[in-house]
Amino acid sequence: MSRIAVTGHIRLTRGTAALVSAALTAALRLRAAGRRGAVHGVTCLARGADQIFAHAVLAVEGTFEVVLPALDYPDRIGTGRHRAEFDDLLDRASGVEVLRYERSCRQAYRAASEAMLARCDVLFAVWDGLPSRRVGDTADVVAAARSRRVPVEVFWPAGARRLSRGECAPARRCRR
């Protein structure tokens, strides 16, 4: 069984989400090679790349587990459609671990990424290749994987774009 963790950008354009979904599903199909349950994903289930990955794992009849960075993480996902999708995917997970941080913060995100890397054979990175701006972001997780010698496969299809950074929520102070 292939154990695949994911990291990736949260704010993807709608067109990019479709491109990424197709690329991830194709890569997972190759790994599954027609064997049911041959793929097991590990994700924090963030909006964007993580949730696209979880859907792709399900599309190839794989399983996935979730590592939640903090107790308040589900509330940080959003409301309405975003929260409903998160809750649905969380219900489909084969297991859920919640780290001991009370509040979501950069350190909690990094800790969750480290927990994922400890459980995988390869990291799928939905990444535009730009350097890290903050601890726990996509480039930081890719660097951590490479330092651990975890193979990294980057997915950034031609024409992919991120939404502007100005729309991102600010980081919160961390409490354990």
Task: Please give the chain's pLDDT, 176 residues, in tens.
Answer: 889 999 999 999 989 999 999 999 999 999 988 566 689 999 999 999 999 999 999 999 999 999 999 999 999 988 889 899 999 999 999 999 999 999 999 999 999 999 999 999 999 999 999 998 888 899 999 999 999 999 999 999 999 999 875 544 334 444 55
DSSP letter, residue 133: S
Do the beta carbons of residue 13 and residue 52 sit within 8 Å? no
Residue labelled with tokens 């903050």: 134
Domains of the chain: 2-163 (3.40.50.450)
> What distance in Å separates the CA atoms of residue 154 and residue 142, rounded to the nearest whole number?
9
Cα(69)–Cα(43) distance, rounded to whole angstroms?
11
CA distances from residue 108 to 125, 133, 137, 139, 163 in whole angstroms, order as listed: 19, 16, 11, 16, 24
Number of other residues whose CB lies within 10 A of the CB of residue 154? 14
Stated pTM of the model? 0.90
